[in-house]
Amino acid sequence: MKILLDTAHIEDIKKYNDIYDIAGVTSNPTILSREKKDFFPLIQEIRSIIPDKELHVQVTGNTCEEMLKEAKAITHAVGKETYIKVPTNEEGIKTIKQLKSSGYHVTATAIYMPQQAMLAATVGADYVAPYFNRMNNINVDSKKAIQEIAWLFEHYHCDTKILAASFKNTQQIMDAFLAGAHTVTASPELYTQMVENPMIDSAIAGFSQDWIHTYGNKKIYELI
Ligand code: G3P
C-alpha cells in the first residue's frame, strides 16, 4: 500500500511529507490551476521537496505529437523518472505506447472503465488511475471496477499498478484499497480526516487526565 498527495500546494506537500510516508505527488491541470503559479517553476519546486519520490505530471495536448513534446519538456525540467500522466482515450493509448518504447514512466489517467485500464496495461503503462468518485457520480460501481482491474492484472501477471484517484471521503479511499488498488492519491485533508475524530480526542484526553491524576505534570522522561 502506498499513499500519494493529489495536490500542488507547496505548504501542504511540505507538511504532509513530514508527517506521513508519502510515496509522491500527483497533479492534473485543474489542481495546478488552483495555485496560480507558472507551470515549470511550480513543478520544479514540488520536485525539490520530494527529490527521490514519485512525481506525476499530466500532459494537456490533444494529439499524440503534442503529448510527446510535452512529456519531453516535463522530463527535461524535472527529470526522466517523472511519471507522465496521459488521459486514456485512443490518442492517449497511442501516446503511452510511444512513451513506454522511449523509456518514460507513464500513468494512464482519467480511467472511468476497466476496459481503459486493460488497454493501457497492454501498451505498458506503469500505473492506471481509476477515478473513484467520478465513477460513482455516473453510477459506475467504483469498487467493482477496481476489483476487475486488480483481477485482470493479477491473473495475467501484469506489472501495471492501480493508482486510484478522485476521492471525496475517507471511506472511498478504504474501499479502493479493499478492492485491490496498490496505491491511492488523495487531497491532504482526507488523510487528516482519517485520524481525526471526537472519540480519538476523548481517548487521548482521558489518558492525560489519568496520568496527571497519578504523576502530576511530570513527563515520563522526567521520572527516570
Ligand atoms: O488527479 C486526478 C483525480 O484525482 C481527479 O480528482 O477530485 O477532480 O475528481 P477529482
d(CA 91, CA 161): 21
- pLDDT recorded at residue 204: 97
Query: Given the CA of residue 185, which atom of ligand 1 is nearest to it?
Result: 4
Asked whether 66 and 86 are in contact (CB, 8 A), the reply is no
Q: Which of 39, 45, 57 lies closest to 13, judged by CA?
A: 45
| Ligand 1, atom 6, residue with closest C-alpha | 166
Q: What's the pLDDT at 143?
A: 98
* Secondary structure, 3-state, the chain: CEEEEECCCHHHHHHHHHHCCEEEEECCHHHHHCCCCCHHHHHHHHHHHCCCCEEEEECCCCCHHHHHHHHHHHHHHHCCCCEEEEECCHHHHHHHHHHHHCCCEEEEEEECCHHHHHHHHHCCCCEEEEEHHHHHHCCCCHHHHHHHHHHHHHHCCCCCEEEEECCCCHHHHHHHHHHCCCEEEECHHHHHHHCCCHHHHHHHHHHHHHHHHHHCCCCHHHCC
Reply yes or no on whether 85 is catalytic.
Answer: yes
Instruction: Note the pLDDT of residue 24.
Output: 98
CA gap 163, 161 in Å, rounded: 6
- d(C-alpha 215, C-alpha 213), whole Å: 6
pLDDT in the model for residue 54: 98
Residues whose CB falls within 8 Å of the CB of residue 187, separated by 6 or more in sequence, listed in order: 5, 6, 7, 167
CA triple 69-57-63, angle to 5 deg: 35
What does the pLDDT read at residue 126?
Answer: 98
Antiparallel, parallel or unpaired: β 127-130 and 54-58: unpaired
For ligand 1, the distance from its centroid to the CA atom of residue 26, given in whole angstroms, is 10
Which of 5, 133, 184 has the most ligand 1 atoms within 8 A of CB, as the residue to mutate? 133
What backbone phi and psi angles, to 5 degrees, belong to 179?
A: -80, -10
pLDDT tens sequence for the chain (224 residues): 999 999 999 999 999 999 999 999 999 999 999 999 999 999 999 999 999 999 999 999 999 999 999 999 999 999 999 999 999 999 999 999 999 999 999 999 999 999 999 999 999 999 999 999 999 999 999 999 999 999 999 999 999 999 999 999 999 999 999 999 999 999 999 999 999 999 999 999 999 999 999 999 999 999 99
d(CA 116, CA 125): 11
User: Ligand 1: which residue has its CA nearest to atom 9?
Assistant: 166
The answer to whether residues 45 and 78 touch, using CB atoms and an 8 Å cutoff, is no
| CB hemisphere CA count around 175 (13 angstroms) | 19
pLDDT at 59: 98
